[in-house]
Chains A and B, each alone.
Chain A
């Protein structure tokens, strides 16, 4: 540094380099520039905090059916129950938080599993290529041609529907699309000049995967991970709607929506519309964050 700085041109160069922010800060700047993405992130954080903190500040009975017999069922919103009560006499606002804990946690964990498994499978397949790739991709083809929801239903009826098993089932069946995307990346990057250069200098396979393929496909991994979480939340809700979600007395948003829609024709709007809006906006927000995350990895958008 000092030797460069001693020459007049070098000093200018150093000050120029100092001005350039580290890469992550530039990425954060691009993300913050996208107002809608920031709003989405704030919304998701707000709903998550609400789900986990609201029951602490304002505990309501959500599990004890016997204690609801002195409560009006399907009561409209009032001061005591800000969003009324549902068809089992549980406080609706508290229940949105209670069901949200399960929906969000399950969606997040299952989405994480899909991305980890999908990344590993896709990278190995794409990077090794040849016969390994062919076999792994044919197996993937087989998985991808099973209608996903059919398989999910079969699996949740075979195994018990405990929270942990639901996470594992959604997680270990949702990674096929991810694996295909990551594999395409790995296949591309493997043949780029810098990977070839590394190989020519004697770098081993694992080193190239770790130092070149993985960092350069991180944009797709992060984006796909975000979408996977949204998808997992949606699939969990679909299972809940079919009556195959989390077992009572626990609940999740899908099960709640299903129970609420039974009451829709009676005009009990508070059992469905508040939750529906919260739910849809959460998934929209997560998807939008995914879109914005894809942008921050676009090198062309980085302003210097």
Chain B
């Protein structure tokens, strides 16, 4: 097990290096080359000499591979992600300020999604082709087809303006404890994010349980006199858990992507809004840092999903074999 985890960590590290190489080379494709941020900071009328000086200050006169090597050293040896071009903060400060806020939003939504989607999917599978099943499938189809921002806006329109019971924006202060000052403000954003992910996950859960329900061991359990309830809870649920764990691990980037849109709609300063602003302002170190961070989270999520899968399913032998 330990050996497997170590090997997976090594593989994840290689993947991370590929991502870094890819994102690091992106600024070179800009029209003004890697000096584009200079124009964003010094203004479009900056003289050539001033721009060149700014470039030299930020080590941009070195060749690509020297810069990339320095960036890797600086990241993994000194744990220094550089300083934002636009905000007077290091990238670490930005990350440590905004990560808890996004994790709070995305984490609450993820928890609710699991609590709603799994029972819903199982219920749909157990009572398939009933009116509840059709209704749930139909709404999942519509939710799946809906751009996430549109859902948020419709929720805001409904609960913020037509029946004005809920605040349409979470607390805007970026202080760490501000998140807890107005819990009601989180109802709409978290509900929107949850609805969006429930649509996909419940459909997946329904499919998985349906596949499990036709297996021989289910028939055996029924033949031995197991009640329907026990068959579903004991045998079907446990066996359907594997694919669900994998898909949850894989859905982390999608969750961050969803959070990005929801943060913009509800004007909630988080990692997503920081990324959009940094990208628009050509704030390269911030974009690189956040991309790397989310990539690490995704890779770790997948690794944890696979390890949990090995724990819940004794048939999967995690030993010397390649994943």
Q: Which residues of A approach B to under 8 Å, CB–CB?
A: 138-139, 141-151, 153-155, 157-160, 230, 234, 237-238, 241-242, 244, 254, 257-258, 261, 264-265, 272, 276, 279-281, 283-284, 287-288
Q: How many angstroms from the CA of A20 to the CA of B168 in the assembled complex?
A: 61
Q: Which residues of B approach A to under 8 Å, CB–CB?
A: 11, 14-16, 18-19, 22-23, 26-27, 29-31, 141-142, 144-150, 153-154, 156-157, 161, 253-254, 256-257, 260-261, 264, 275-276, 279-280, 282, 287, 290-291, 294-295, 298-299, 302
Q: How many angstroms from the CA of A150 to the CA of B298 in the assembled complex?
A: 13
- Write out the residue numbers on chain B whose beta carbons fall within 8 Å of the beta carbon of A272: 153
- Write out the residue numbers on chain A whose beta carbons fall within 8 Å of the beta carbon of B27: 158
- Write out the residue numbers on chain B whose beta carbons fall within 8 Å of the beta carbon of A258: 149
- Write out the residue numbers on chain A whose beta carbons fall within 8 Å of the beta carbon of B257: 147-150
Q: How many angstroms from the CA of A151 to the CA of B19 in the assembled complex?
A: 11
30 pairs, A vs B, C-beta closer than 8 Å: A138-B14, A141-B15, A142-B15, A142-B18, A145-B299, A145-B302, A146-B253, A147-B260, A147-B294, A150-B256, A150-B275, A150-B279, A150-B290, A150-B291, A154-B279, A154-B291, A157-B279, A158-B27, A159-B29, A234-B145, A242-B261, A242-B264, A244-B280, A257-B149, A258-B149, A279-B147, A280-B145, A283-B145, A284-B142, A287-B141
A196 vs chain B, min Cβ distance (A): 23
- Write out the residue numbers on chain B whose beta carbons fall within 8 Å of the beta carbon of A254: 147
Q: How many angstroms from the CA of A138 to the CA of B8 in the assembled complex?
A: 12
A interface secondary structure, majority: helix
Is there an interface contact between B14 and A238, defined as CB atoms closer than 8 Å?
A: no
Provided the pairs A153-B279, A157-B279, A264-B157 are in contact, do residues A138 and B253 lie with their beta carbons within 8 angstroms? no
B290 vs chain A, min Cβ distance (A): 7
Q: How many angstroms from the CA of A138 to the CA of B14 in the assembled complex?
A: 8
Q: How many angstroms from the CA of A158 to the CA of B22 in the assembled complex?
A: 14
- Write out the residue numbers on chain A whose beta carbons fall within 8 Å of the beta carbon of B30: 158
B157 vs chain A, min Cβ distance (A): 5
Additional A-B contacts beyond A157-B279, A237-B149 (5; CB < 8 A): A141-B15, A147-B257, A154-B23, A241-B149, A280-B150
By beta carbon, the residue of chain A nearest B148 is A238
Q: How many angstroms from the CA of A287 to the CA of B142 in the assembled complex?
A: 10
Is there an interface contact between A264 and B153, defined as CB atoms closer than 8 Å?
A: yes
Is there an interface contact between B145 and A230, defined as CB atoms closer than 8 Å?
A: yes
- Write out the residue numbers on chain B whose beta carbons fall within 8 Å of the beta carbon of A230: 145
Is there an interface contact between A138 and B11, defined as CB atoms closer than 8 Å?
A: yes
B interface secondary structure, majority: helix
Q: How many angstroms from the CA of A151 to the CA of B257 in the assembled complex?
A: 10
- Write out the residue numbers on chain A whose beta carbons fall within 8 Å of the beta carbon of B26: 154-155, 158
A54 vs chain B, min Cβ distance (A): 23
- Write out the residue numbers on chain B whose beta carbons fall within 8 Å of the beta carbon of A144: 253
Is there an interface contact between A148 and B142, defined as CB atoms closer than 8 Å?
A: no
- Write out the residue numbers on chain A whose beta carbons fall within 8 Å of the beta carbon of B144: 287
Q: How many angstroms from the CA of A175 to the CA of B154 in the assembled complex?
A: 31
Provided the pairs A145-B253, A150-B257, A237-B147 are in contact, do residues A158 and B29 lie with their beta carbons within 8 angstroms? yes
Is there an interface contact between A153 and B298, defined as CB atoms closer than 8 Å?
A: no
Is there an interface contact between B253 and A147, defined as CB atoms closer than 8 Å?
A: yes
Is there an interface contact between B141 and A241, defined as CB atoms closer than 8 Å?
A: no
By beta carbon, the residue of chain A nearest B298 is A145
A278 vs chain B, min Cβ distance (A): 12
Partner of B253, one of A148, A160, A264, A287: A148
- Write out the residue numbers on chain A whose beta carbons fall within 8 Å of the beta carbon of B142: 280, 284
- Write out the residue numbers on chain A whose beta carbons fall within 8 Å of the beta carbon of B261: 149, 238, 241-242
- Write out the residue numbers on chain A whose beta carbons fall within 8 Å of the beta carbon of B15: 138, 141-142, 145
Q: How many angstroms from the CA of A155 to the CA of B27 in the assembled complex?
A: 9
- Write out the residue numbers on chain B whose beta carbons fall within 8 Å of the beta carbon of A148: 253-254, 257
B18 vs chain A, min Cβ distance (A): 4
A99 vs chain B, min Cβ distance (A): 14
By beta carbon, the residue of chain B nearest A265 is B161
Is there an interface contact between B157 and A265, defined as CB atoms closer than 8 Å?
A: yes
Provided the pairs A142-B18, A150-B294, A238-B149 are in contact, do residues A157 and B282 lie with their beta carbons within 8 angstroms? yes
Provided the pairs A153-B275, A153-B276 are in contact, do residues A261 and B18 lie with their beta carbons within 8 angstroms? no
- Write out the residue numbers on chain A whose beta carbons fall within 8 Å of the beta carbon of B29: 158-159
Is there an interface contact between A154 and B287, defined as CB atoms closer than 8 Å?
A: yes
By beta carbon, the residue of chain B nearest A283 is B145
